[in-house]
Amino acid sequence: MNKTKPKYKQIIDAAVVVISDNGYHQAQVSKIAKQAGVADGTIYLYFKNKEDILISMFREKMAVFSESVQPLIEKETKAANKLLKLIQNHFSILAQDPNLAIVTQLELRQSNKEIRLLINEVLKEYLKLVDTILKDGMETGEFAQDLDVRLARQMIFGTIDETVTTWVMNEQKYDLEELAPKVHQLLLKACQS
């Protein structure tokens, strides 16, 4: 329990740990409170309800993906390199936080449709980044002129997501980050003209 952290941060971090350790359906509010070192009632001073904890958690963590990759992308001029950075960054964040990986790839998907729809809203910001890279590449001629951006985005995100999920399901026993160049190469070939 880190007393210097604001409570809402403490609670979100506690939720990641508890969900990762116990699974989505065994992550009771009281467990999260205990892990966060606060009383059950305190949770409700910072979150509207349990659902709100999950959405907030996803929002906070997803922001990390977007915010950390943004400067990396800006440094690159070639769309191909931007795409590589995005993949590397995505794999890197999850590889460095095994609990988060479990939560996002396995546990949070058990939430009900309403939560998942809200999560998708949060995701959209990240997917816009992918779209930007694709459009950049098409403008510079790196990527095929007739590329269907929506389909290509679905391919890129679907591939990244499937790769990470498989890795998590295999108990993270191989190195995810070193797959990045190969995944990148595959996706790049699909996009190039």
Partner DNA sequence: TATGAATGAGCATTCATTCAT
Partner DNA sequence: GATGAATGAATGCTCATTCAT
* Nearer to a copy of itself (CB atom), residue 11 or residue 187: 187
Mapped onto helix, strand or coil, the DSSP state of residue 192 is strand
Residue 151 binds a copy of itself (CB under 8 A): yes
Task: Enter the tokens of residue 145.
Answer: 């002129």
Measuring CA to CA, which residue among 144, 94, 163, 150 is closest to residue 124?
150
Residue 42 binds a copy of itself (CB under 8 A): no
Chain residues 19-38 in contact with DNA, contact rule CB under 7 A:
25-30, 38
CA distance 129 to 124: 9
* Nearer to a copy of itself (CB atom), residue 1 or residue 169: 169
Residue 120 binds DNA (CB under 7 A): no
* Nearer to a copy of itself (CB atom), residue 64 or residue 186: 186
Measuring CA to CA, which residue among 169, 193, 161, 173 is closest to residue 86?
161
Contacting residue, 25, 48, 78, 124, with a copy of itself by CB under 8 A: 25
Mapped onto helix, strand or coil, the DSSP state of residue 143 is strand
Decide: residue 182, CB within 10 A, 0-12 exposed, 13-18 middle, 19+ buried: exposed
Residues that bind DNA (CB under 7 A): 7, 25-30, 38-45, 49-51
Residues that bind a copy of itself (CB under 8 A): 23-25, 106-107, 109-113, 116-117, 120, 148, 151-152, 154-155, 157-163, 166, 169, 179, 182-183, 186-187, 189-192
